Structure 1
């Protein structure tokens, strides 16, 4: 069981980390602007599900594989980079009127949710980050370490849902305002495509 002081310290650190610009919140931002707040929230739910996988991997010791095996780390990160490039290609292809079209022919709920999961679990750095971050807040005297790691992961996921949910709402409103202008639609799609491509390159070049 986590102590109150540990819980508050971890909660504060988690909120700060969720607010810091990173691949996941940038991904939520772009999806919300392109497809609306509801889509961003669905992607957020997918990302959070991915965090469940990473938390379980750390708690069960599986995450060590990505820390120790260069092959496993490389394969997973290249899959993630390829997926991001696919999203970039789709954004660039949208062209004029892309935002309106993407909202009219929006992805179904399952596809958006799945997009968040794939984006998160194909980034091995998340598992390695959790492997380094979560154990710092555990204490063998407070009970079973696996249970403590799962509790910490749950707290981090709740912080993610709150912060990314707010990002989705704000970015969705901003996207609605931009969608009134065809010129802005083109710019937003180009920016989104560039962001996805940059994230793909960053992930592909990431080292353990």
Structure 2
């Protein structure tokens, strides 16, 4: 495994996206333990995209306009749903001191769907992972799985860091209603903008 792969992966994981946004919102709204669960769910959500890339399903998304559009708009719809959930007063993702606890299974499900319903992620892995497989490798499938597992491990560690940092700010946030409202609206707007961006994304 090359140092180039590790450095590139760290940069990619650090870039803010739907997974980071979700983990931050859970950390603020639900606390540190829930943010770790969200980080795990986001990491788990990479599995379908990696398998899709390795098995060639990402290539199908690349060549089939219909398949790509179906997955894309499912992802768009889910991002808009997340934005609506964030805006609801007392909703599951509301950032508040007395916000009801979300079941770990629900946190994981939301996190997995955010990644699994993003066809651009599958195409990213299709283009990204093969670049680090040496020509003439005796076991390219095994190397692909190793690279994918390393990327997932980095994702989990970085997302846990994001989530725990957000949870540390929770006490400050929940004691200031105006900040809570601003954060809820900001998270909702960002989810909505990500949905709009995905809706207009090409293959």
- Do the two structures share a fold, i.e. TM-score over 0.5? yes
Cα RMSD (Å): 1.8
Contact 1:29 1:167 survives alignment (8 Å): yes
| Aligned counterpart, 1:22 | 17
Structure with the bigger percentage of helix: 1
1:155 alignment partner, one of 150, 154, 159: 150
1:205 alignment partner, one of 195, 200, 203: 200
Is it true that 1:135 corresponds to 2:125 in the alignment? no
* Structure 1 residues without counterparts, runs of 5 or longer: none
Q: How many residues were matched structurally?
A: 201
**Structure 2 Cα separation of the partners of residues 173 and 85 of structure 1:** 28
**Cα distance 1:160–1:190, how it changes in 2: closer, same or farther (>3 A)?**
same
**Structure 1 Cα separation of the partners of residues 199 and 27 of structure 2:** 24
**Structure 1 Cα separation of the partners of residues 135 and 55 of structure 2:** 16
Is it true that 1:99 corresponds to 2:101 in the alignment? no
The within-5 A match list for 1:1-208 is: 2=1, 6=2, 8-94=3-89, 98-100=94-96, 104-208=99-203
Deviation at 1:67, TM superposition (A): 0.9
Deviation at 1:125, TM superposition (A): 0.3
Contact 2:21 2:187 survives alignment (8 Å): no
* Structure 2 residues without counterparts, runs of 5 or longer: none
